[in-house]
Amino acid sequence: MNQSTQQTLQNLGWNETFAHHFAPYAEQGFSVGRITLEHKRMYRLLSEHGELLGEVTGKLRYEATGREDYPAVGDWVVISPRAAEKKATIHALLPRKSKFSRKAAGETVEEQIVAANVDTVFLVNALNNDFNIRRMERYLILAWESGASPVIVLSKADLCDDLATRLREVESVAIGVPVHVVSAERDEGLEQLAPYLGAGQTVALMGSSGVGKSTLINKLSGMDMQRVSEVREGDDRGRHTTTHRELFLLPSGALMIDTPGMRELQLWEADEGFRGAFDDIESIAQSCRFNDCQHMREPGCAVREAIADGTLEQARFDSYLKLQRELAHLARKEDAKLQAAEKDKWKKINMQMRQRKPKR
């Protein structure tokens, strides 16, 4: 890989870790690209050959066991470019250093990767009538689990009459997470985001519809890169302006992934993420008399004592229990899915063995 190619890839977020994983493919003459847009299993990607339209190989499709095995926006992929045609064949995905995932919509137990290889996740919440602290807890769980660093961005500050109260609410659930207040309408607070937007850094915007993600990316880019819509009257809920995930290059050299609004954010596997989002409760629980305390009626329960003396809000503890139950339910469904997949695998193996067995 020559110096010019190296610099081009570094501008897209390339680093030594990705280079190490790519080395065996480089020896075989393959190139590499980064996914900027996904649309019906066709992918737009950026590479040393410029922008290409990519499609995965039949082998990759055959070996894929679920959505998570297909490229997502932000992924680095191994390609065979056809520069003259502005096309490429995608052979493999390089290991992800981070991924923001949620459970796919519907009853199917399947992971949906919203963004991959992200350094920082901007969790955007509007300071209007749609402000929801419980929804923020969900985003924090998945952000901590993703492997990226979460940052809370409180948008539409010009619509908030009691900023101090809102900040206290946010800080009570976003333990140790940077919180920035901005107003794109008034161009206020945007300079606070500059430290996260260095050259080659990848930032993903997450939040429900109408919180101002598209407006924010337009302001940070200095141009109208994304279409914006007015929120609904009455409840300040937004319309779905952004309909797909897409990676953009900003003038600062940073890369930003815009995502559609996610009002129904169903949790995916979130062990470390859950502990990170509820570190305050987990820390209090360590002082309970019994290690297996359920925080219900056990004597010497530090959590119940914290609720009684006002150190811990009952609503936050209720949310903790609710999300814990949701993850436990998901784990049971995932386990049943894995058992069914294993049974189906051995059924196919046995069938193949019977077909190969010589007839007497």
Average pLDDT of the segment spanning 104-117: 72
What is the Cα–Cα distance from 224 to 35, expressed in whole angstroms? Answer: 22
pLDDT for 119 equals 96
pLDDT for 235 equals 46
Chain centre to alpha carbon of residue 10: 22
Residue 232, pLDDT > 50, answer: no
Element (H, E) at 123: strand 120-126
Q: Which band of pLDDT confidence, cut at 50, 70 and 90, is reported for residue 96?
A: very high
The listed range with the strongest mean pLDDT (3-12, 131-140, 152-161) is 152-161
**Residue whose structure tokens are 């979460």:** 150
Average pLDDT of the segment spanning 47-64: 93
pLDDT for 237 equals 47
pLDDT for 231 equals 47
Q: Which band of pLDDT confidence, cut at 50, 70 and 90, is reported for residue 238?
A: very low
- Which amino acid does the sequence have at 5? T
pLDDT, tens digit (0-9, with 9 covering 90-100), for 67-95: 889 999 999 999 999 999 999 999 999 99
pLDDT for 242 equals 47
pTM of the model: 0.76
Average pLDDT of the segment spanning 320-334: 72
Spatial contact of 112 and 72, defined as CB atoms under 8 Å apart: no
What is the Cα–Cα distance from 158 to 341, expressed in whole angstroms? Answer: 52
pLDDT, tens digit (0-9, with 9 covering 90-100), for 249-308: 999 999 999 987 555 555 555 566 677 778 888 889 999 999 889 898 889 999 999 999
346 or 157, which is more confident: 157
Q: Which band of pLDDT confidence, cut at 50, 70 and 90, is reported for residue 354?
A: low
CB neighbourhood size of 240 (10 A): 12
Residue 117, pLDDT > 70, answer: yes
Element (H, E) at 44: strand 42-47
pLDDT for 68 equals 86
Average pLDDT of the segment spanning 18-44: 94
Residue 219: phi, psi to the nearest 5?
A: -70, -45
Please give the annotated binding residues for GTP, written as ranges.
155-158, 207-215
Residue 337, pLDDT > 80, answer: no
Please give the annotated binding residues, written as ranges.
155-158, 207-215, 288, 293, 295, 301
pLDDT, tens digit (0-9, with 9 covering 90-100), for 119-151: 999 999 999 988 888 888 888 888 888 889 999
pLDDT for 129 equals 86
CA distances for 290 relative to 157, 299, 305, 317, angstroms = 44, 8, 14, 18
Spatial contact of 203 and 121, defined as CB atoms under 8 Å apart: yes
pLDDT for 359 equals 57
pLDDT for 153 equals 95
Q: Is 75 exposed, middle or buried (0-12, 13-18, 19+ CB in 10 A)?
A: buried
pLDDT, tens digit (0-9, with 9 covering 90-100), for 169-227: 998 888 889 999 999 889 999 999 999 999 999 999 988 878 888 889 889 888 776 55
What is the Cα–Cα distance from 68 to 59, expressed in whole angstroms? Answer: 16
CA distances for 315 relative to 268, 280, 321, 322, angstroms = 22, 14, 10, 10
Please give the annotated binding residues for Zn(2+), written as ranges.
288, 293, 295, 301
